[in-house]
Structure formats: C-alpha cells, structure tokens
Chains A and B, each alone.
Chain A
C-alpha cells in the first residue's frame, strides 16, 4: 500500500487548507497517510492535523524551528519519511515547499516533481501530471523509481468533506542546527496586508481610481473579500501605491483564482503580470480598454459607482 507523507503548511499558527487537500487526495488514492508538522509550540495544532485526515502525526517541535530554514526543515521531513517508510512525499505549493522539496529528494535519493496537478498509481508505478512549456501542455510523467517527492500545484487537489484521521503522535528529535545558514529574523511586509502572491483573490487598482480616495474605496472591497490588494504601474509611478504592490511585468506576477481589475486599461506590461489568473473581472469606463480582451467578466462603468454596488451585493449574499 502506498504511503503518503504530507508536509503540513502552517502559517502564523494556523494549518492551511492545502494540508487537508493533500491528505484528502492521499486517502482518495487509497494510501496510508501521515503528516509532518514543523515549528515551535505547535502541540495545540495536533487535533487539527488529525482532523485534516492524517493517521500518523510526526511533530518536530523545537524553539530552534520557529523560523523557517530549508536545511533543518528538510532534515525533519527526511527523518519522518524514513520512520514512516513513505514512498510519496507531498508539499503544498509555497516558497518554503519549493525550497525544501529538492533537498529532501536529494537526501532520500528520490524523484522530484514540481507543480504536479495529479497523481495516479498503477501498482507500484507512480504517474504524475504537470504543466510544461509555460502551461501550454500538460505532461504525464511516469516516475521510474519508487519514491517521489512532489510539490503540488495550488488548488490541484480538493478537500473531501467529513474527512477524519486517527491520532498517533510521534515526536521527532530536533535536527542539528544548519551550519550553512542561520536565520536571524523574519522581515515580513510591514503593511500587514495579504501577500499578493499567496492571495486567492487579488484586487488591483489603476489610473481610473484617480487619487487616494479612489484607492481607499477599492481597498475596502479588498478588505471585505480578504483579497490581496495591488495596483498597476501608473499608481506606483504616481506615488499612490508602494512598489511592492505593483502587478505587472516589472512587479509581482500573480495568478490568483480571481483577479479583479478596477480602472486598469490593461496595458501589455500589466497583462504580463496577471493573465495567468483563473478568472478575471475588469471594471473600466472605456469599453475599448484592452483589459476587456483578457477579462472573463467585464463591467463598463465608473469604479466609483460600481464598487459601492459590488460591496452592497456581496454583503447581501453573505448574510
């Protein structure tokens, strides 16, 4: 029977939904499941790990693991994988996952695949599906050894309703400190906003917002939806938005499930930063604006009129 070890994604003390999604998939292919959780003071998360669908929980709980560091994290995963005898090791799609996965694969002498969207098992034969040639094609890859470390593309697997696991906690001994790199501090985006790259929904504002009042208006909608808030280059150039919030060719390149563009005409420099989004909604006064060429939904109108209505309607749906 296949044994799947899922690396729990924990951010600010919360287990992210990807962990459940990955465990659900593992159960769906009939595998035995385990989860590995790494951090400091994470005992309280164990029930959550169980309910996420794991049958064994490897916990590396040590003050030295508070801040992410690829080397020690990889040792923990390797330790858990060996104890569990895992043949499939899955990471959620995150920067940390991408950093740890190849290290684990190298240490275990396993295959490594990134951005997979599906896994199938034919006996011992593992087959994965992943995009290639900038998402132009999907390739199915047969893995010709028995262990695979994979980074799963965000949202590729769905969580099964009512999934449960069993509690079987195994403590891992803390890894030896990493001599190559010592993490001294974690500097996060001072704005405290939702990270654009992580956000499920990204709302961006462009020249159509005119000034700070316009930006604030759209920002409220972003807050309602807990969306990442970005902007086109024009607003950064105009000094209204910080450079870190620029979506586009020379700024952040995002691909959320929903991208909402307010008052953005859709110059090619901007499109290059967001046209990988799953669903695009555009609001612009100019029906000729190129943004409508890439938008799935478009509203021709002034954002100052549209945003309040949208907020109102969203509120209604929610209550």
Chain B
C-alpha cells in the first residue's frame, strides 16, 4: 500500500508502546522479589488451560454465556492477529502472506475460512456484549466508558477487515478489475470467495457503490484496521484492558503446588526488618512483583466479589475495588519505587559507610508514606476477609488475593499493632493455654477419658498420630466428633495415639490474623513435640489443622504425611475395613469446608463416604465444590464479631434450608459451629441435623 506511511505508523506506535511497557516492567522489577520461574512445563499447562483454554470463563455453568462470549472474542482476536500481520506486510509488499498461508497452500485457505467465520462470530459476540452491558447489566459488572470503547475498537477491527475483503472482492469480481489486487485462486482449492461466505456477504453490501467508492473503501478499511489496532495496542496498558497483555504471563507465573503463595515465613529475629518496619505489607512499595502484576491484570470483572461471602453479605470488602485502589497507589508511587530500586542497587557497590548512610536516608525518603490500611483501604475491609479463597478460584486470570490480605494483616499486626481488639482473648488463650478459648491446657485430653486411647508418651510405636485440634479437644459439640472418629479408628483396628496435653493449637488462626510471632511460636513447639516422637503420619478432623500441618510446617522443619479424616475414612470404607449399612434416613447435603476443598482439593472423598451411609441421593447445595460458600469462621473471623451486614453463617444456613434436607454433613469443627448456630437461629435445628462425616459413619457402622 504505502511502505513509508506504514513504517512511520509502526515506528511511532511501537515506540510509544515500548516506552509505556518499559515503565510498567521497570516498576515490577523494582518491587520485592518473588520466585516464580521454575517448573516451566507445569506453568505452560496452566497457561494453556486457564488462559488460552479460558477454563474459568467457559467452565463455570453460572457464567457460561458471558464466558463463551469472552472466549470467542479472545480466540477471534488471536486468529485475527495473523491476518493483521499479513496486512502490515501488505503495506510493504502487495500480495504479502506469511509462510504457508498463501494461496498455494491448503493451510492458507483454511486460515481465511476460519478468519472469515470467526470475524462474524466475534461481531455477534460484541453485539451481545454491548447488549449485556447496557441492558442486562449483571450485578457484578462495573460499567465504564473504557469497556465500551474497547468493545467498539474490537468491533471496528473485525468489521474493517470484513469490509476490506468485501471491497477487494468487489473490485476483483464485479468490476472484473483484479489489476494489482491479489487473491487466492488455485486449481486445486478454487477461488478464495468459495471459502469466505461472510466476506462475500460483506462484499454484496457495498457492491452497489461503484468502482471508485469500492477502491476508496479498500484503502480506508485498510488504514482503519491498521490504525485501530495500533491505537488499541497503546490503549491497553493504560487501563483494565492491560489484561489482554498481562493475563497470559500472570497465569503462567501463578503459584504452583499450593493454590496460592504461602504466607511468607517472616524472619522475626531480623532486627533490621523491625527497624525498617518491613515485616508484612503496610506500604505499597512492599508488594512483590507478582503482586504488582496481579494488580496490572485485574480486569475488574467482579467475579471475585460475586462469590465473596463478605461482599454478598454487605460487608465493605469489594475485591475489584480493593485491587483498583492498590493499583492507583502503586502507579502514583511508580517513580519513587523505581528510583529507590536504583539507589538500592548502587548501595551494594559502595563501601564508604557515611555514603551508605546517606543513600539509605535517600531511599527511606522515597518510601511511600501512605499507610495502606487506613489511608488506601479501610480497616473493616481488610479484616472482613474469611480467607475462603472463593475469589481466587473463580478469577479467570488467577489473581492471588488472599496472600496479599494475609501479608497486609501481618503488617497491621506486627508493625502498626492495629487489629480488632476482640481477638485478644483468643490470642492470649493461645499463648497461655495453647487453645483460643484459654481453657486450662491440662484439660486438653479430658475428652479421651474412658475411651481407651493411648498417648504418644505411653507408646510412640503406633502407625498414626491422631491430631485432635482445639475444638475437638475442648468444644463439647466437636468432642462428640472426636469420639466418633476414635470409635471408627478402633473398629478398623488402626494403631494410633494422641499427643494428649502436649498438643497445642497449630497456630492457623494466629497466622491468618497476621500474628506471625505467635504462629511461629506455636509451630516450633508443636514441631518439636512431633519430631521428638518421630511422628510420620497424622490424621486430623480439622481442615485448618490439616492445612497448617501439611503446608505450613514443612518450611519450619516439620514434615509429615497429613490426612484429613474424610480421606482416611473413605480409604477404610473402600478397603472394606469399615462396613456401612446405608441406613441414614432423610435427604442429605454436604457443606464443603474451604480449607478442605478449595485449599486441599478434597471434594470427592467426603461425598463418596456420604453415598455409603445413605441410600438417598446426595443433594448438592446451590454453591458447592470449588464454589462452595464459606461458613464465615475462617481467617480468624471465628474470633471476631460480625457486626456489619448479614451474618455469613445465616446466609449459608438459609441456603441449606432451601435445599429441604434433613441432614447437612460437614467436615470441619468451625463449619459445624457456624452452621449449627445458623440452624438454631432459623429454628430449624430439630429438622435439619448438622453432623460431621465421622458421626454419620459411626452411626451407620455395622
């Protein structure tokens, strides 16, 4: 077309884009380190499934229509990119095509056919998207001009290409004027027209305009397509559509092995860290680069808040707003953060201590002064989170919200010493008696009296340690669950023992509320006890204990094979060590505990057990499995009052009542408390029994 003009356009557009991207990447590089470059194969798989496969968009039944819409726009966009490259080539050389995509190859024909149909589909999707935003207005969405603009630009990209082809076809066909205009025509595969019905239709739309108009159309559509694309490219990094560029890398770099980044094992003896107040996150410059990339990538789609137990019960935690506020704060401090990183790297090469001191002062001056909590994010917002991970499970671009919240709580707890005061009795209880209720530690094994249970101190040559947990040891309701579990283990002839009064809270809840010091204390003490007895395998009925023992003790020197009782009982049933009668009467449902399901991927085993105790169908709740709804107790919320909005346990209990069941099975002592309380409040505790899996199994044992 016009090599000069196209070169100019490309150079200008790419240099502006390059400059923007350089700034963005420089900012990420200046943030704290995060180790994410390993296990490339697994990472590629994630990218293929989540990003390219759009798993969380098309895979969720509730969101399927919009998911399919997005997936087609995304795929169509990718397919069109090849065409766009061809058009850039066309700008330099007539009839340019990419290798193997020309008229001599079947592949070339297949590509134009695919491109033709996908453009039509994308256009339809764009119309649906406009309609959805403007008319249907789903609650989670947050409508902005930017969203419409981007939809419009994508529409233009598609339409301009179709009309470009249409005008081209007209010039070739109707006016029999192929002249210099190139098109596919191969004796084997026939004319390009036969492969591209949509473009042919576009051609017929403008065929009446005459040769001149079609010639003009061809040129206009060509440049419109190129310019739109270059403008689009430069718009992307400026707003939430940055995800078009960052989503793939973000998914590629997501946490592996555990659903999100594990809480950082803070070095609490690092005096410099206390001095610099750098434990946890209190200021924006304390984010690591992956957390920064998460902020770049948030598309404000609102799926997170739609599944959030706190947002849906009218609490102030609105995750996309949370991300947006942090992003604004990050961008406002971008220059200082970059400067700071540069100074920090020069400091390492300097030996003169006076100069180092001076540079350190300069660096400190560049730190963001704003307290994230209080000045950017409200206190109630931070403490509302139950750490249930529902948000992360639905996030299409795999943003890790919860670790950031935990780190911010660490900052609040350790540095700012600002946390809900109602946590104090439970923390004190942990410190003094190893349980959050502060009941005398010497009473921890009272429940076991008369059950003929050995302690490790009696005999450590057993196969399993039964980790009872605080609730299972002290809470009257949960003690019944522990007793049931013990009877099952005894019946199956399992050799096990308990720690008795040597057991202490794992520290889970201390860690969730940011009290890293107390967590580490509890963990160290427990690990010492466990290692002393050479414990290898642990069974526990508490998903919070499970999660902590399994994932958070290894970095501190405690490596055990930890099994939740649902998994263990399921194995016993499968192996025939426990015979069940399927005698449970009445309809049954199951509430997935967050720390069992979403955190530890245990969804099937409890269900398999429930099918063995009841002949009836297991009725699933509206929100179940990966998208189960939290009971409201996680993240330390068990030890705080819920004074804002509707209570989460009530919301969940109502959902259970709506399902018209007579039994709701749980696998967590805190879910048990929350749901049973909800049932009592709704006056349904007699009709709907809240039972732990172990209790149902014990009752049904032959």
Contact = CB atoms under 8 A, between A and B. Distances in A.
B475 A268 contact: yes
A219 to B, nearest CB: 21
B641 A268 contact: no
Given A234-B677, A234-B681, A290-B476, A134 B432 contact: yes
Nearest to A289: B476
A23 B432 CA distance: 35
Interface string B432-448: 11001111100000000
A272 B474 CA distance: 11
Interface string B627-656: 000000000000111010001000000000
Contacts of A243: 641, 643
A238 B641 contact: no
B260 to A, nearest CB: 28
Interface in A235-284: 237-238, 243, 246, 249-251, 253, 266-269, 271-273, 275
A267 B673 contact: yes
Interface string B413-428: 0000000001001100
B699 interface: no
Contacts of B429: 272
A249 B647 contact: no
Contacts of B471: 268
A238 B643 contact: no
B677 to A, nearest CB: 7
A237 B644 CA distance: 11
B639 A250 contact: yes
B680 interface: yes
B429 to A, nearest CB: 7
Interface string A305-316: 000000000000
Given A136-B440, A268-B475, A249 B639 contact: yes
Nearest to B428: A134
Contacts, number: 56
A181 interface: no
Given A234-B681, A271-B437, A272-B437, A293 B643 contact: no
A274 B673 CA distance: 19
Interface in A118-168: 133-134, 136
A146 B122 CA distance: 90
Contacts of A133: 432
B439 A272 contact: yes
Interface string A215-244: 000000000000000000110011000010
Nearest to B640: A250
A253 B425 CA distance: 9
* Candidate in B436, B641, B673 with the most chain A CB atoms within 10 angstroms: B641
Nearest to B470: A268
Nearest to B422: A250
A98 B482 CA distance: 42
Interface string B666-691: 00000001000100110000000000
A136 B443 CA distance: 12
B647 to A, nearest CB: 6
A207 interface: yes
A207 B677 CA distance: 11
Interface in B434-486: 436-440, 471, 474-477
Nearest to A268: B475
A253 B426 CA distance: 12
A290 B479 CA distance: 11
A293 B438 contact: no
A271 B475 CA distance: 10
A113 B45 CA distance: 65
29 contacts: A134-B432, A134-B438, A233-B641, A234-B677, A234-B681, A237-B681, A243-B641, A246-B641, A249-B437, A249-B639, A250-B422, A250-B425, A250-B639, A250-B640, A251-B422, A253-B425, A267-B475, A268-B439, A268-B476, A269-B437, A271-B439, A272-B425, A272-B429, A272-B437, A272-B438, A272-B439, A273-B425, A275-B439, A293-B476
A-B pairs, 10 with minimum CB distance:
A290-B476, A272-B437, A250-B422, A268-B475, A250-B641, A134-B432, A268-B437, A249-B425, A268-B474, A272-B438
